[in-house]
């Protein structure tokens, strides 16, 4: 992995990877959404409102997984001083914040017909909201450190410390009495409480959104590197002119 921390080597890999991720994402996401929204039968308890799970579940997964990526990038910045660590963190954070917000929004829309309320201050929802605010804090701090030319150690510490929220969110339905239902899928055991006729589009939307997430992050990282190169070139030109 160390050799991919070199920006030139990373760009050589990222250019084709961006296209592959975006194309695969669309190829998986479109049939998944179509199947979930128009083909699968209504849930026997929640009716058509349950169809929002095909967006809500991928959004929840990526809202959490993105912070795992930030933590890994932050650790590489603090321990190995990888030049792409801060770039990766800045690229991931806004996309992760978007999916965290999408998780909260779709959860509220789903909660209204299911619970009779748009919002409830319970463990799963509140911890996810805190994670969303952590994303906003990370974005603001990363932007400030970049503008003043810092090494990014302060925001990297936030990235590592913030990972504590992931097990809290994951196990909140077990720690506290909450309105949110228990986890419907146990990936470790390969078990699911979702009926097979409702389940099949979900892997497509999860993988589709995941590939799109990766493609967008690659685009943002490439843009950030290009911006850094341009700024360095402008500074050299200004120095030569002086």
Which residue did the predictor score with more confidence, 152 or 67? 67
pLDDT, position 238? 67
Q: Is 59 left (phi over 0), alpha (psi -120 to 50) or beta?
A: alpha
Share of the chain above pLDDT 90, in %: 54
The string of pLDDT tens digits covering residues 94-129 is: 999 999 999 999 999 988 887 788 888 877 889 999
Distance CA 51, CA 45 (A): 12
Q: Is the pLDDT of residue 190 over 80?
A: no
CA neighbor of 29 nearest in space, from 222, 210, 236, 240: 210
> Would you state the pLDDT for residue 146?
83
- Predicted confidence at residue 207, as pLDDT, reads 97
Beta strands in 101-239 (DSSP E): 185-186, 191-192
Q: What is the mean pLDDT of residues 213-242?
A: 82
**What are the φ and ψ backbone dihedral angles of 2, each rounded to 5 degrees?**
-60, -35
pTM of the model: 0.89
Q: Provide mean pLDDT across the span 153-174.
A: 90
Pairwise CA distance, residues 110 & 102, whole Å: 12
pLDDT at 231 over 90: no
Instruction: Kindly give the pairing relationship between strand 191-192 and strand 185-186.
Output: antiparallel
Q: Which domains does the chain have, with CATH numbers?
A: 19-182+201-241 (1.20.120)
Least confident of 27-41, 149-163, 191-205: 191-205
């Amino acid at each position: 992995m160390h050799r991919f921390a070199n920006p030139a080597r990373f760009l050589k890999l990222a250019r084709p990877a961006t296209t592959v991720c975006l194309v695969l994402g669309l190829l998986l996401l479109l049939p998944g959404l179509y199947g979930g929204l128009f083909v699968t039968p209504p849930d026997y308890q929640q009716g058509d409102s349950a169809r929002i799970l095909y967006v809500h579940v991928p959004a929840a997964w990526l809202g959490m997984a993105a912070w795992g990526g930030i933590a890994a990038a932050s650790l590489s910045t603090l321990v190995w001083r990888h030049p792409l660590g801060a770039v990766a963190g800045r690229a991931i954070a806004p996309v992760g914040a978007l999916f965290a917000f999408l998780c909260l929004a779709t959860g509220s829309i789903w909660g209204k017909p299911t619970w009779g309320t748009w919002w409830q201050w319970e463990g799963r929802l509140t911890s996810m909201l805190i994670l969303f605010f952590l994303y906003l804090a990370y974005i603001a701090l990363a932007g400030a450190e970049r503008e003043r030319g810092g090494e990014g150690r302060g925001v990297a510490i936030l990235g590592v410390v913030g990972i504590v929220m992931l097990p809290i969110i994951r196990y909140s339905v077990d720690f506290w009495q909450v309105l949110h239902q228990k986890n419907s899928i146990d990936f470790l055991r390969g078990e699911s409480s979702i009926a097979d006729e409702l389940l099949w589009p979900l892997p497509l939307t999860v993988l589709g959104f995941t590939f799109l997430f990766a493609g967008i992050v690659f685009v943002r990282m490439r843009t950030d590197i290009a911006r850094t190169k341009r700024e360095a070139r402008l500074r050299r030109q200004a120095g030569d002119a002086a």
